[in-house]
């Protein structure tokens, strides 16, 4: 057969390799390979597949002088270009070993050449790890691989004159047709990879859009209300016939087809496949009604994909996407469902972390609050004790005021209260202290109207008053005055307690920067404000020896106890 006719014949038979490339590109094993998530079992399957492609290339070859002009190299080098050296060499051993068993004076030469070609392709793969090899590089690799094969035949096949004659006949047809076949093979693979990436990108974009819309609801945690809003958004955006979300116990929300018997309160029982997902934590695909396991005889839901929702690796529920047609779940649904479930799980986990952080912050504030109460009680009881013998009626009145303060304090322990409620406690405390110090303690105030409904951590102002009396005025023989001011600064409220007492040298010792046992009240207030509102809020000190002290408390305008609607 002339070189011209042999070339045409080999190009015609090259369609077999192209067909096999297309079949490979549609398999789940190949999709895992291109996503770099293949297991060793996948690697073995792909190696065998490429080896079989090489064997098919042998059988599709054309006998020439006790040898075969073949396209075996396409399968072998494709293995190396897609999977690396180990896969290329292994496919070369499979295809080349088969060729060796067929016999002929080029049997050993062809087997050795296939192994070398697989190694060559694997080395080229290292230039593009995780990326498809360009067609022009595959074309050049195929040409180089076949040139190497012709050289090995000339070096190892005997008798030499037959080897030279064979190479003269098959070299050009095999170099041209097989390099073109390898290039076409890689183009088909790259096209499949690009299509898969496009699907993944589109589904990821859709999943992100849905996750963004559902974020305000899932921030509340996984419950019937948040699940109900979420499934409505998914149904409207994703085109499924029905959508459901469950927890570990039952269906939280269900919308779409067959909601009459799937949605609560009509039913909250879990289907068979859902229970499997909750038990194993693995995605399940139902391609028919029987696999779904709905007990309702007329249910039209015949295919579904169910993915687990997790929080800290713990399964807490499931997301279910349904079709009313059998075998409807495709690769795009798998990509979408897995991505959406991952985003939902992340949202729910962040919500749980935020909830735990708030609980920890509240526990810390309650602990700090508990340190303030005994301090206040100790000082007040000392005041009352000093009056029991000299002024029993006044002592009795002060005890009533103290009991009223503590009843309120115990009821509101660790909570945020209104500024008006806090000021009521402050006035009760001041009345106790004024009863003790008499004319040596004067108090005045300037409170901006309209701020009383905003929230403040309980027992935030009283420790400032106590500090001013104890450390500012008591060391001053003639006593002094306290001025309480509440000011509106737009989105911030400032509450200042100023005294004209002995003052202090803040450069030598600032109690907020270097706490001591005498400044526990100030430190606790400062830490509670910092913990709840952030580092822009807390206490500020201004003082000079002999000129008094001003303590300023800054906090945002918050109208709720949770602090979520702060200005």
* Residue 528 vs residues 193, 335, 361, 485, 486: alpha-carbon distances, Å: 55, 46, 9, 21, 19
Judge if 60 and 157 occupy the same domain: yes
**How far does the chain reach from its first CA to its final CA, in angstroms?**
89
377: pLDDT strictly greater than 80: no
Q: How far is CA 138 from CA 77, 119, 135, 236, in A?
A: 9, 14, 5, 45
pLDDT band of 379, cuts 50, 70, 90? low
Q: Would you say residue 348 lies in a domain?
A: no
Q: Which of 282, 311, 329 is the last residue of a domain?
A: 329
pLDDT (mean) for 522-544: 85
Do 174 and 274 sit in the same domain of this protein? Answer: no
Report the percentage of the chain scoring pLDDT > 70. 86
The highest-confidence range among 27-41, 164-178, 202-216, by mean pLDDT, is: 164-178
| Same domain (yes/no): 400, 253 | no
Whether 232 and 185 map to the same domain: the answer is: no
Same domain? For 317 and 415 the reply is: no
What is the per-residue pLDDT across 118-133, written as a single tens digit (0 to 9) for each? 999 999 998 877 677 8
The number of helix segments (H) and strand segments (E) in the chain equals 18, 14
- Based on the domain organization, do 253 and 134 belong to the same domain? no
Of 98-107, 426-435, 460-469, least confident by mean pLDDT is 426-435
Average pLDDT over residues 426-446: 86
Q: Which CATH number characterizes residue 136's domain?
A: 1.10.1760
- Is 565's pLDDT higher than 70? no
At 560, list the tokens.
Answer: 């709720």
Q: Are residues 386 and 525 in the same domain?
A: yes
Count of the separate structural domains present in the chain: 3
Prior bond of 159 cis (ω within 30°): yes
150 shares its domain with 268: no
Give residue 66's pLDDT.
Answer: 79
Q: Would residue 207 count as lying in a domain?
A: no
Same-domain status, 146 and 60: yes
* Domain contains 345: no
- 377/304 same-domain check: no
Q: Which residue has the tokens 């116990």?
A: 249
Indicate the residue among 168, 199, 230 that finishes a domain: 199
379 and 435 together in one domain: yes
Q: Which of 91, 80, 84 is nearest to 53 (CA)?
A: 91
Q: Which domain holds residue 394?
A: 355-556
Does residue 208 lie within any of the structural domains? no
549, 472 in Cβ contact below 8 A? yes
Secondary structure string (H, E, C) spanning 233-281: HHHHHHCCCEEEEEECCCEEEEEECCHHHHCCCCCCCCCHHHHHHHHHC
Can you tell me the distance from the alpha carbon of 274 to that of 252, in angstroms, rounded to the nearest whole number?
13
Distance CA 324, CA 335 (A): 20
Query: Which CATH number do you get for residue 227?
Result: 3.30.450.40
Q: What average pLDDT score do residues 513-538 get?
A: 79
Check whether residue 244 and residue 294 sit in a common domain.
yes
Tens-place pLDDT, residues 56-105: 888 888 888 877 888 888 889 988 988 889 999 999 999 999 999 999 89
User: Exposed, middle or buried, 493 (CB in 10 Å: 0-12/13-18/19+)?
Assistant: buried
């Amino acid at each position: 057969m002339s070189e011209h006719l042999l070339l045409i014949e080999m190009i015609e038979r090259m369609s077999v390799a192209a067909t096999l490339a297309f079949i490979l590109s549609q398999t789940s094993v190949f999709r895992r390979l291109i996503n770099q998530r293949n297991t060793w079992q996948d690697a073995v399957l792909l190696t065998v597949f490429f080896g079989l492609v090489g064997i098919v290339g042998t059988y599709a070859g054309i006998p020439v002088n006790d040898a075969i002009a073949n396209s075996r190299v396409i399968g072998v080098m494709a293995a190396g270009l897609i999977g690396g050296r180990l896969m290329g060499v292994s496919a070369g051993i499979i295809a080349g070993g088969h060729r060796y068993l067929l016999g002929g004076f080029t049997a050993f030469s062809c087997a050795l050449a296939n192994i070398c070609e697989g190694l060559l392709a694997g080395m080229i793969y290292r230039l593009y790890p995780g990326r498809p090899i360009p067609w022009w590089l595959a074309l050049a690799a195929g040409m180089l691989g076949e040139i190497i094969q012709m050289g090995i035949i000339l070096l190892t096949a005997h008798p030499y004159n037959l080897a030279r004659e064979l190479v003269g006949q098959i070299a050009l047809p095999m170099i041209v047709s097989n390099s073109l076949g390898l290039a076409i093979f890689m183009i088909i693979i790259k096209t499949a990879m690009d299509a898969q990436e496009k699907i993944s990108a589109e589904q990821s974009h859709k999943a992100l859009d849905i996750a963004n819309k559902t974020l305000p609801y899932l921030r509340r945690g996984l419950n019937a209300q948040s699940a109900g809003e979420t499934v409505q958004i998914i149904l409207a955006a994703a085109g499924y016939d029905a959508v459901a979300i469950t927890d570990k116990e039952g269906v939280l929300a269900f919308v779409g087809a067959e909601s009459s018997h799937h949605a609560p309160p009509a039913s909250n029982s879990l289907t068979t496949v859902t229970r499997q997902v909750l038990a194993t934590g693995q995605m399940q695909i139902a391609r028919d009604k029987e696999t779904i396991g709905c007990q309702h005889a007329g249910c039209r839901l015949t295919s579904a994909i169910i993915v687990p929702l997790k929080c800290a690796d713990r399964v807490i529920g499931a997301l279910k996407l349904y079709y009313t047609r059998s075998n409807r779940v495709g690769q795009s649904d798998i990509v979408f469902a897995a991505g959406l479930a991952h985003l939902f799980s992340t949202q729910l986990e962040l919500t749980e972390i935020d909830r735990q952080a708030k609980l920890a912050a509240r526990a810390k504030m309650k602990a700090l609050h508990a340190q303030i109460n005994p301090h206040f009680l100790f000082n007040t009881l000392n005041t009352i004790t000093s009056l029991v013998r000299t002024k029993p009626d006044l002592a009795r009145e002060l005890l009533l005021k103290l009991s009223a303060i503590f009843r309120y304090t115990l009821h509101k322990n660790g909570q945020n209260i209104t500024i008006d409620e806090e000021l009521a406690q402050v006035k009760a405390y001041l009345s106790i202290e004024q009863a003790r110090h008499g004319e040596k303690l004067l108090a005045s105030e300037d409170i901006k109207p309209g701020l009383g409904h905003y929230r403040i951590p309980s027992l935030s102002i009283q420790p400032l008053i106590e500090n001013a009396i104890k450390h500012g005025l008591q060391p001053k023989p003639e006593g002094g005055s306290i001025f309480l001011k509440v000011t509106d600064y737009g989105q911030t409220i400032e509450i200042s307690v100023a005294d004209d007492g002995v003052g202090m040298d803040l450069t030598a010792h600032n109690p907020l920067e270097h706490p001591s046992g005498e400044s526990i009240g100030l430190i606790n207030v400062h830490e509670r404000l910092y913990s709840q509102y952030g580092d822009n809020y807390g206490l500020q000190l201004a003082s000079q020896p002999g000129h008094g002290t001003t303590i300023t408390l800054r906090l945002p305008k918050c109208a709720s106890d949770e602090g979520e609607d702060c200005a």
